[in-house]
C-alpha cells in the first residue's frame, strides 16, 4: 500500500485542564520544557486508563529494559522513520543524542543507512527494523546474526521495542499529534 498523507493538524487535541484523576496520571509522564505534558500524553489522556498503562509499559522499555540506550534508540529511530512518524523521530532524536548517537548516525537512520559506516551489530538492528516494518517478520539471516550476539531475553525485548514503537508511530500519525516545542522533525527540515 502506498503511503497515506499524514494529517497536518490534530484530529483529537490534547486534553487541556484535565480533571484531577487524569492530571495525576499526566504528572507521571514526560513533560515538555514548560512543564506541560508532551502532546502524545495529552492526546492519550482522552483515555485515562489506557494512558496509565501505556506510560508504565513505555516507561519500562525506556528506563528499565535490558537494551543499552544507544541500541534501543537505533531501533526506535529506524522504526519511526520506517513508519513516517516525524513526531517519533523528533522526540527520539533528542533522546538518541543523550544516549550517545551522533547527528550523522541519526541522519543516516532517517534515510539510507548504507551511507554511514555502521558496525555490524548496529547494521543488524537496522536490518531487523526494516524487515519488521516491511513484512512483519525478521528473516532467518538477520535473526541468526542477532541471536549470535544477544541472549534470548534481549532478543525478546528487541522485537517488543520495535513493535511498541510501530504502534506508537501509527497512533501519532493517525491522530495528527503535533511536534512539541523545541523538538526537531526530520533531519535537515
Are 78 and 110 in a shared domain? yes
Flag whether 45 is in a domain: yes
Are 162 and 136 in a shared domain? yes
Flag whether 180 is in a domain: no
Are 88 and 126 in a shared domain? yes
Total domains present in the chain? 2
DSSP labels for 2-42? PPPPPPSS-SSPPPSS--HHHHHHHHTS-B-TTSSBPHHHH
Domain ends where: 32, 63, 94? 63
**What is the residue-level pLDDT of the chain in tens, covering all 189 positions?**
457 889 999 999 999 988 888 888 888 777 776 778 999 999 999 999 999 999 999 999 999 999 999 999 999 999 999 999 999 999 999 999 999 999 999 999 999 999 899 999 999 999 999 999 999 999 999 999 999 999 999 999 999 999 999 999 999 999 999 999 999 999 987
Are 123 and 51 in a shared domain? no
Domain range for 155: 69-175
Flag whether 141 is in a domain: yes
* 77 φ, ψ (degrees, to nearest 5): -65, -40
Amino acid at each position: 500500500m502506498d503511503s497515506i498523507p499524514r494529517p497536518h493538524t490534530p484530529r483529537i487535541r490534547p486534553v487541556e485542564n484535565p480533571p484531577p484523576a487524569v492530571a495525576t496520571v499526566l504528572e507521571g509522564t514526560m513533560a515538555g520544557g514548560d512543564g506541560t505534558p508532551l502532546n502524545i500524553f495529552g492526546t492519550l489522556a482522552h483515555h485515562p486508563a489506557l494512558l496509565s498503562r501505556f506510560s508504565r509499559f513505555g516507561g519500562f522499555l525506556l528506563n528499565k529494559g535490558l537494551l543499552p540506550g544507544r541500541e534501543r534508540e537505533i531501533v526506535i529511530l529506524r522504526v519511526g522513520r520506517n513508519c513516517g512518524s516525524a513526531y517519533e523521530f523528533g522526540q527520539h532524536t533528542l533522546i538518541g543524542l543523550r544516549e550517545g548517537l551522533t547527528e550523522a548516525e541519526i541522519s543516516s537512520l532517517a534515510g539510507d543507512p548504507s551511507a554511514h559506516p555502521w558496525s555490524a551489530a548496529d547494521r543488524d538492528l537496522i536490518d531487523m527494523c526494516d524487515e519488521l516494518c516491511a513484512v512483519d517478520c525478521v528473516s532467518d539471516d538477520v535473526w541468526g546474526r542477532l541471536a549470535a550476539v544477544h541472549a534470548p531475553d534481549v532478543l525478546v525485548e528487541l522485537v517488543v521495542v520495535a513493535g511498541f514503537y510501530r504502534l506508537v508511530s501509527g497512533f501519532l500519525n493517525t491522530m495528527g499529534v503535533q511536534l512539541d516545542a523545541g523538538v526537531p522533525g526530520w533531519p535537515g527540515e
